[in-house]
Every structure is written in structure tokens, then in C-alpha cells.
Structure 1
Amino acid sequence: MNKFIRLFAAFTVVLLIVETSYSQPERQTTKVGTTVAQFLKIPAGARSIGMGGSAAAVEGDIYSIYWNPGALARMRTTGEASFNQARWIADIDYSFVAAGLTVDGFGTLGLSVTSVSTPEEVVRTEINPEGDGRVWKYNALSMGLSYARSLTDRFSIGFTAKYIREGIWDMSSQGFAFDIGTIYMTNFNDLKIGASISNFGSKMRLDGHNISFNNFPTGDQGQGPQNVESIYKTESYDIPLTFRIGLAMDILRMENIRVTGAIDATHPNDNAEYINTGLEFAFNELVFARAGYKSLLLDQTEEGLTWGFGVNFPVTNTTGVKVDYAFADFGRLKDVQYLTVSITY
């Protein structure tokens, strides 16, 4: 067991080294607005969101695939398929679909798809401020393939490889990224320690029809080279790398009652550090109530209180249906509500 404790410590140090190489030079420089593919930061899973997004060390369902792929190996069932939907800020439509299956002697495989889109808007120009007959919209997609394995009954590790695409009108950008995470259950009241890095990958750059134009190098259409095909050079930008480390523990466990507490420290490469914390109350593992607080210690944020509930409907001894709801307060941006429906098998 000491070997795996050392392995967990070494792995966490590696994560810290990688994260530090992308960290802010100063606390005052938050680098807000310097990364692309911001949709990757929209949280997934009503259970985790109801607990304030404190999910790095929380195990038990398919949504570990988003927060910490190492915890995917510790799903409570052999398999799970789930759909998460939300109407995000500014009428942005957000969907997350995930499925996982544990194969004896091999590990747990997972698949996830994130989809984000905006309503269609008319194209406005200086000449046609009310619209020129064309429409545009933003859309984004991420597809991930995950693998997780328990190396012992207390230590698990997992990985996700994903493809990322963003598009706006006839412009698009593409990239690839990896998530890596681990979770360790200690001997102290089964306290769990989780650590993960999300979105470690390539930079992304917009490309498409709108960067092409016809140039007249001399500035005079009657002299010199005429109608030279040219393109605008677009810059490449990082994607939102995020490092999480968290603790979770059952702070109360009775015959039919369980209360789990969790806390995460999060360090993104495009903002200052912050803390998420939350609680989950379970009655007979059938009815759940949750509450949490997001983005503690972050100076400028509209995020804050979260809460939610869930119901588990057993169908057979090995299958069931779970329905979870979460509410997240966004201050002046109003609120966002999430609905998750899962099938366990």
C-alpha cells in the first residue's frame, strides 16, 4: 500500500509541475479572456453542480468523466449512460452526454460528447444594420474517449483524450486535448483525495472563408499587381487548462442516512485560484438533497450559491433510473438550471 501512496504523491507532484508551467506569473495578472473554447469550462452533471462544483474527489457516477477521469473507475454500478441539459447564460443551449462501462479485469471505458450552440442571429453590416438576409450562429463540440482503472481497492487513475471544435458563421477552429486524474481513498474515515488536470492540449486558431480577401498591393486598382488573393493571419490561443485538487468524505453515515462533504481548490490558466465546496444528503440512497458554494476567494465573479436534489428509481436489482436537478445562481446574469437523467445498469 505504501507503494501506491508514493505513486499518488508522485503523480500529484507531476500535475503540480505541469500546472505551474502554465500558471500566472503574478496573482494580480488573472489572464481572463486569453483562452478559447470557453465552453469546456461549463460544468457537467446536476449532482456535482448542486454541490458547488466540488467534485474532484467525489466518486460514484459517470460525471467523473468531466471532473476527474480517475474517479470513473469507482462508479457504483457496472455501467451508466446519462444526458445533461441546461439553458446557459444568454440563451446558449448546452448538452452533455456520457456513457461508461466497467469491464472485469480491464478497467472502465467512457465516452462523452459536449455540444453548445446559440440561437441564429441576423448578419448586420454598416450598409444593412437591420440585416442583409444572412444569418449566423455559434456552435461548439467536444468528443472524448476515457479509460480508468483501479490499481488497488483504494487507488485509481484515469485518462481522457478529446477532440475540440468551435465554429462561428463560416469560421472554425479545431484542437485536441487530454484530461488526466487520480483518486486515493485514505484509511482516515475513507477520506478521498482527488487531483486532475483538464484540457492539456494544443492551441486553436480560427480558419475559414472570412480570412480570404482580394488585395491591391499598390493601393491603386489601376496600377501594379491586381486582385492578389490574400489571407488574414489569425493568432493561435490556448485552451482553458484547469488543475483541481479536492477532498471528500462521508461526515455522517447511519443506517439510512449519509452526508458527504467535499471541497475543491481550482487553478485555471485564465483566472485566479478559487475554491468550491458542497454537501450531499442522502436518504436510503434513493432521495438526495445538495447545496454548495462556487468560486470562493474569486474577487470578480457572479457565481455563488448552488443547490439541487435527486431521486433514484430502482427498476431491477441491477438497473435503475436517476433524475437530478441543480440550480446555480449567477447574480446579475440571473441563474442557470440543470437537468440530468441517467440510466444505470
Structure 2
Amino acid sequence: MLAVDYGELQETVFDASTEAGYRDVGTFSPTAFAIGLGYGRTVTDRFSVGGQVKLVTEDFGAIAVSANDQGDLNREDVSETVLAYDFGVMYDTPFPGLAFAVSARNFSQQAAFGEGESFQLPLTLQIGAALDTRGLTGLDPAVHRLVLSVDAEDPYDYAGQIEAGGEYTFANTLALRAGYLFPSDVQSFSVGAGIQQRLGGVGFGADYSYSAYDVFDPVHRVAIRFDL
């Protein structure tokens, strides 16, 4: 499940009588929500498949779509809901710790807001590889674990990007993470850390990450999880 609240945004309408060519008419608060159900299974000792169906909704609320000569606004509830599908496969290679995966996300029918132009959700193809270096470094695998990964992502409506990163875990308790995204004119590197522990039979974990952006302020993310 994923929910996004974009906060209050300024709402304007075209008005040729003003110097700016528009006028403010208030604010609106768009939201987005997605909930899905997924299933995966191991087909062989090296090959796994999975899929997900999800309900995706985006709602702009009652926004101004036009104005008459007297300046009165015509408002419409603008929202759309579609079903989307994700698919993926993973192959665990004979080389120790090396795995490849391919996924395709956001297969969906055409969507449209009201009588506006139809569009499709951002169909995205992703291929990646990960290497678990336990057993390759000479360090005690019960204490030290280093996983390296690289992903290539190709959205249909945006230039392709490559993400590279790694995670070091100490004693299955403390994790340190770092990653880099390129090419990108906005986001560059991310770093983070996490802890996990079992307390009274209940698993507890906390994660923090810092992502640097060239134009915007850096983004801080905090997550807390429980495993029953």
C-alpha cells in the first residue's frame, strides 16, 4: 500500500485581463493512493516468478476547469482509478551469491481525467543484478555480509537510468547503505543505515536514509517495522 499527499498547491485560471495572464483562485490538494495484492513462487531451485495486481487512484479534488465572462468558476471533480499489473522473474546463477532479475511494472489500460487526453501509467522495464559476497571475501559470513547491486531502469516516458549501490551488514544487526543514480540532473547519491533486532519474540527494525538533490533540499526518510 502506498499513499501520497502533495499538500496544498496554488490554483490559477487563465485571465487575459491581468498582467500575468492568469489569476489565483485558491488552492487544491491532490492525493494519490495505490494498494496491491502480490503472489510469488519458486519454480525451481534457481528460478522464481511473481506478479502483483494493484488499484491506483489519483484525485485532484474539485478544481476550476473554466471561468465565464463574469469570472464565475466552473469546477469539476477530477480523479481517475485504474487497475495496473506488475510482473517479475529472478534467476539465481550457479556462481555463488550472484542473481539476476527482470521486472515490468504498470501494465494498465488507458486512463483520463474527465474528458481530458488519455494517458497510460508509466510502464517501466527494469533489469538488475546482485552479488552477495559472503564466502568470497574470507571474512566470517556469520558476522560480515556485503551485497553489491546494479539496476538499469527504462521508463517509457523518461530517459533510462542506472542505479548502483551496496549494503554492508554486521552481525545481522547493523546495516550501512550507499547508492548512486546516473545520469540524473536532479538526484545523485544516497546513504543510509538501519538496525534490526528481536525483542521478546517480536522483530524490530528502524531505517534512515539521506538523498541528495541538486535543485531541491535533501530528502530524509525514516522507517520503522515490526515482524510478528
Same fold (TM over 0.5): yes
Question: What CA distance in whole angstroms lies between the structure 1 residues aligned with 2:11 and 2:143?
Answer: 58
Of the candidates 81, 88, 99, which is equivalent to residue 174 of structure 1? Answer: 81
Specify the alignment match of 1:266 in structure 2: 153
Q: Per-residue CA shift, 1:19-67, capped at 9, x if unaligned?
A: xxxxxxxxxxxxxxxxxxxxxxxxxxxxxxxxxxxxxxxxxxxxxxxxx
Question: What CA distance in whole angstroms lies between the structure 2 residues aligned with 1:130 and 1:239?
Answer: 31
Question: What CA distance in whole angstroms lies between the structure 1 residues aligned with 2:97 and 2:81?
Answer: 41
Specify the alignment match of 2:99 in structure 1: 192
Q: How far did residue 251 of structure 1 move?
A: 2.2
Q: How far did residue 276 of structure 1 move?
A: 0.4
User: Would you say 1:119 and 2:26 are equivalent positions?
Assistant: no
User: Would you say 1:320 and 2:227 are equivalent positions?
Assistant: no
Question: What CA distance in whole angstroms lies between the structure 1 residues aligned with 2:124 and 2:169?
Answer: 30
Percent identical among aligned pairs is 27
User: Would you say 1:288 and 2:172 are equivalent positions?
Assistant: no
User: Would you say 1:303 and 2:160 are equivalent positions?
Assistant: no
Return the structure number with greater helix share. Answer: 1
Question: What CA distance in whole angstroms lies between the structure 2 residues aligned with 1:237 and 1:183?
Answer: 30
Question: What CA distance in whole angstroms lies between the structure 1 residues aligned with 2:226 and 2:58?
Answer: 30
Structure 2 CA distance for partners of 1:271 and 1:122, relative to 1, 3 Å: closer
Of the candidates 53, 56, 59, which is equivalent to residue 164 of structure 1? Answer: 56
1:248–1:262 contact (8 Å) kept in structure 2: yes
Q: Per-residue CA shift, 1:98-123, capped at 9, x if unaligned?
A: xxxxxxxxxxxxxxx11111223464
- Equivalent position amino acid for 1:234 in 2: G
1:174–1:205 contact (8 Å) kept in structure 2: no
How high is the TM-score relative to the length of structure 1?
Answer: 0.55
Of the candidates 112, 123, 131, which is equivalent to residue 241 of structure 1? Answer: 123
Q: How far did residue 252 of structure 1 move?
A: 4.2
Gaps of 5+ in 1: 1-112, 208-232
Gaps of 5+ in 2: 63-77
User: Would you say 1:202 and 2:109 are equivalent positions?
Assistant: yes
- Equivalent position amino acid for 1:285 in 2: N
Give the secondary structure class of the aligned counterpart of 2:157. coil
Q: How far did residue 202 of structure 1 move?
A: 1.4
1:306–1:326 contact (8 Å) kept in structure 2: yes
1:205–1:234 contact (8 Å) kept in structure 2: yes
1:327–1:337 contact (8 Å) kept in structure 2: yes
Question: What CA distance in whole angstroms lies between the structure 1 residues aligned with 2:200 and 2:48?
Answer: 28
Across the aligned residues of Structure 1 and Structure 2, the Cα RMSD in angstroms comes to: 2.1
Question: What CA distance in whole angstroms lies between the structure 2 residues aligned with 1:124 and 1:265?
Answer: 39
Q: How far did residue 273 of structure 1 move?
A: 1.7
Structure 2 CA distance for partners of 1:267 and 1:121, relative to 1, 3 Å: closer
- Equivalent position amino acid for 2:89 in 1: T
- Equivalent position amino acid for 1:152 in 2: T
Bigger relative contact order, structure 1 or 2 (CA pairs below 8 A, ≥6 apart): 1
Specify the alignment match of 2:70 in structure 1: none
Question: What CA distance in whole angstroms lies between the structure 2 residues aligned with 1:269 and 1:123?
Answer: 29
Q: How far did residue 301 of structure 1 move?
A: 2.2
User: 1:131-142 alignment to 2 at 5 Å?
Assistant: 135-142=27-34
Q: Per-residue CA shift, 1:212-255, capped at 9, x if unaligned?
A: xxxxxxxxxxxxxxxxxxxxx41101111111111111124523
Q: How far did residue 148 of structure 1 move?
A: 0.9
Specify the alignment match of 1:257 in structure 2: 144
- Structure 1 runs (4+) deviating above 4 angstroms are 121-132
Give the secondary structure class of the aligned counterpart of 1:234. coil
Number of matched pairs: 203
Q: How far did residue 338 of structure 1 move?
A: 1.3
How high is the TM-score relative to the length of structure 2?
Answer: 0.81
Q: How far did residue 154 of structure 1 move?
A: 2.5
User: Would you say 1:340 and 2:223 are equivalent positions?
Assistant: yes
1:197–1:244 contact (8 Å) kept in structure 2: yes
Moved more, 250-259 or 159-168: 250-259
Question: What CA distance in whole angstroms lies between the structure 2 residues aligned with 1:135 and 1:301?
Answer: 29
